[in-house]
Structure 1
């Protein structure tokens, strides 16, 4: 599960930034803004991108931190259990 989240984080956020393409949250925000307003094209797209991308990045970063911290806690518990045995 941890590896799946790390790969998802890498593919959706880091890799598109390195390549220079649009990342997944930007694409989703453009699609969402297209559904919300069809009349004003640029304004609604950039507003949705500016709102949704930081929220998505914060969400993925917190998932990454939570899973890394859980992994380190499990590793410490395993090490302590080996000391008792």
Structure 2
């Protein structure tokens, strides 16, 4: 089963549990282009936070991509990817 098929089954909620609580995160699947190898990749983003930035390795070339996510009211607005050198 492909990643997008799995996410379609659990979207829009992903349950995260620890020893003290269970929380719900709004997630979405985003497609972006690696700034190093230029391949199109899929990443899962948390839409419960309006603005966030984090680093995730490319699933093709394994180089670090800085990903900026912008959401509003739990809906994904934009996703930007850039290299560490930008």
Normalised by the shorter chain, which TM-score bucket?
under 0.3
Q: If each structure's strand is expressed as a fraction of its own residues, which one has the higher value?
A: 2
- Structure with greater proportional helix content: 1
Between 1 and 2, higher relative CO (CA 8 Å, sep ≥ 6) is seen in 1
Of the two, which has the highest radius of gyration? Answer: 1
Provide TM-score, normalisation by structure 2.
0.23
